[in-house]
Chain A
Amino acid sequence: MQEQPLLDVKELKTHFHTERGRMTAVDGISFQVNVGEIVGVVGESGCGKSVTSQSILRLLDEKNTAAYEGEILFKGTNLLKLSDSEMRNIRGNDIAMIFQDPLSSLNPVYTIGYQIAETILLHQDVSKKEAYARAVEMLRITGIPAPEKRVNEFPHQLSGGMQQRVMIAIALSCLPQLLIADEPTTALDVTIQAQIIELIEELNRKHGMGVLFITHDLGVVAELCTRVVVMYLGQIVEEATVEDLFTQPLHPYTKGLMKSIPHLDGDKSEKLHVIKGMVPTLNNVPKGCRFAPRCLYADELCLEKAPDLTEYRKGQKVRCWHAERIVLEEEGQYA
């Protein structure tokens, strides 16, 4: 029998109450993160990636703007049923999160040492001195040179890469079992990106930490993740292992994403592939398949009736009526 997954999201729906009525930003998504696994969540802007991650930690304002449906099981407990204080215990301690922009994720008025120690003090019964010692240790682990000196510096005194390392140090200071990384490399330049990705990979290997890696960078996904969830307009359109996804994407949207990656050895005079159109707004969701208006394969069935997420083959699920046709066509091309 398979082990219980670390994180098991079941039919999660996140609604927002807005002036124009109720918007469903995340519409019934289900996925799992197992212990020691790195799962990538991919999609273009506005497809609900970040809302998904915020929903898992219940960061959205439930009193005024947001409502959740479904289940988020973390090691068997439903996070959506926990009280505020129980949720606070989980945050930072069991599930940690790192954000896109490291500078704005650090409070400018405190030293980085204080900010790392604060999280430790929040969750563990240690003295201030021990917490600071741990903070120095965390900085060392994340690869910051001269951590005993850096620990008393303010965020603005550090470079972007170092700030992101500090964020990771804060996130990992209580050794969480799950790390949610919300586009952690988007604001960094490529060399730093590589270092940060390596760091996350190393920590994942050493501590068996599960990682939910949210990004729109398929290159990073290919390098880092074991499984990938592709999202479009609040729904999962394809879920597969990295190998399957990159050798044979089934959903036209995934195919489009793949085609729009520039290749170093490719023909540079050729224009990059573009997925036509824009992501529709949430109050304007298409009736049938959500991707149909932009899809090259769409026919009447697509416009009329929304497909379900079905298992096409073992470990690869797709939400498309024409997966079969797409595969055949591709094989035909290569034959």
Chain B
Amino acid sequence: MKAIESNKELSNIKYELKKEQRQLFRKRLFSNKLMVTGGVTIIFLTLVAFIGPLLMPYNPYEMVVQNRLQAPSMQHPLGTDEFGRDLLSRIVFGAKVTLGVGFSVAAITSFMGLIIGLYASYYKILDHILMRVCDGLMSIPGILLAIALMSSLGPKTLNVVIALSIVFTPYVARVIRSKAIVIREQTYVEAIKVQGASTFRVIWLHIMPNTISPLVVAATFIFADAIITEAALSFLGAGIPAPDPSWGNILYDGKLVIFSAWWMTVFPGIMIILSVLGLNLLGDGLRDLLDPHTNYAKK
């Protein structure tokens, strides 16, 4: 009986401890104001992308020619474009496309980068091959490579995702590889080998979990980079094809009328700045939170 009671007591103490640790973590989380700002911005933009389209009174594809290039008004809070389409609706629908592309690219590069980085760190021969391929890809400026890939793949939203994933995977692979090489030499990796673990287990169950924090940070920055690059591609006409709205191709459309219709340049521009700034702040904050070792003295 007594043992059971003391067990209960222990589990109570443990519960309390866990609660306290969670509180401490929360405190640390919220003490970084910039990161919270970034996080809130991203959450807001995500909500805009998912819920926004349901609230928009206008169809973003509907052209009303007599309303073309109207300045912001009560009816069209952000004005209309050169086909008379409501700019607010287009920006809100564009959020889904732009953030969708950014997120997909971040997810795919994380996955590919993880595989390439982990195996490159573990096998010397693979390391030479994979890292030289990555070096090759990285030696071409990202945007040029993306344009080249897009012109060979053809303008399609899916192709934008594929092209950007190819452009950004080497960066993630590098980050993962460098971290994994450090982990590989840790005694606990040797220790688990001594216990008779297979290579697969060593790589995926023991090295991989230790690379998650740099991966999360890298993925956040890739997310931001992908948004910028997608916008740049669309701005150059090699990104999201015409009728679909994306912040980049709204900017592209606005370029022609920049002196008569400033709103077509300013508002999508603000959206791009907001999302990229938000993601960068979030990424910086996450790095400080997850990787205390690289916490260069800030105060």
Q: A residues engaging B (CB < 8 A)?
A: 57, 59, 63-64, 85, 88-93, 96-97, 99-101, 104-110, 118-119, 122-123, 146, 148-149, 152, 167, 170-171
Contact = CB atoms under 8 A, between A and B. Distances in A.
A99 B196 contact: no
Contact of B193 (A59, A89, A109, A110): A59
15 contacts: A63-B124, A85-B198, A88-B198, A92-B195, A92-B197, A93-B196, A96-B195, A101-B187, A104-B188, A107-B209, A108-B188, A109-B209, A110-B209, A167-B191, A170-B191
A149 B14 contact: yes
Contact of A122 (B11, B187, B190, B197): B197
Contacts of B197: 88, 92, 118, 122
Contact of A91 (B189, B193, B201): B193
B210 A109 contact: yes
> How many B residues are at the interface, by size bracket?
20 to 34
Contacts, number: 72
B210 A91 contact: no
A210 to B, nearest CB: 16
Contacts of B191: 97, 99, 105-106, 167, 170
Interface in B174-220: 186-198, 201, 206, 209-210
Contacts of B260: none
A233 B209 CA distance: 39
B151 interface: no
Contact of B195 (A91, A101, A110): A91
Contacts of B201: 122
A7 to B, nearest CB: 15
A5 to B, nearest CB: 21
A120 B159 CA distance: 47
B7 A148 contact: yes
A119 B196 contact: yes
B194 to A, nearest CB: 4
Contacts of A118: 192, 195, 197
A99 B193 CA distance: 12
Given A148-B7, A149-B10, A149-B14, A105 B188 contact: yes
A172 B74 CA distance: 76
Nearest to B210: A109
Contacts of B10: 146, 148-149
Nearest to B14: A149
Nearest to A104: B187
Contacts of A91: 193-196
Interface centre among B191, B206, B209 (most CB of A within 10 A): B191
Contacts of B14: 149, 152
B191 to A, nearest CB: 5
Contacts of A167: 191
Given A99-B187, A99-B191, A149-B14, A107 B210 contact: yes
Contacts of B124: 63-64
A102 to B, nearest CB: 9
B188 A97 contact: no
Interface string B1-20: 00000010011001000000
B210 A59 contact: no
A146 B124 CA distance: 44
Interface centre among A57, A105, A152 (most CB of B within 10 A): A105
Contacts of A108: 188, 210
A57 B194 CA distance: 7
A170 B38 CA distance: 43
Nearest to B188: A107
Contacts of A146: 10
Nearest to B209: A109
B196 A122 contact: yes
Interface centre among B187, B190, B206, B210 (most CB of A within 10 A): B187
A107 to B, nearest CB: 5
Nearest to A96: B194
Contacts of A106: 188, 191
B196 A107 contact: no
B188 A92 contact: no
Contacts of B190: 59, 99, 105
Nearest to A106: B188
Nearest to A173: B195
Contacts of B192: 107, 118
Contacts of A122: 195-197, 201
Contacts of B7: 148
Contacts of B193: 59, 91
Interface in B207-263: 209-210
B42 to A, nearest CB: 26
A108 B186 CA distance: 11
A303 B195 CA distance: 44
A184 B195 CA distance: 16
A148 B8 CA distance: 11
Interface string B63-84: 0000000000000000000000
Contacts of B187: 99-101, 104-105
B206 A119 contact: no
Nearest to A99: B187
B207 to A, nearest CB: 9
B196 A104 contact: no
Nearest to B13: A149
A97 B191 CA distance: 8
B208 to A, nearest CB: 9
Nearest to A65: B124
Contacts of B194: 57, 59, 91-92, 96-97, 171
Contacts of A100: 187
Contacts of A89: 196
A93 B197 CA distance: 11
Q: Report the 7 A-B pairs with minimum CB-CB distance, sorted nearest first.
A: A92-B195, A92-B196, A91-B196, A119-B195, A104-B187, A109-B209, A88-B196
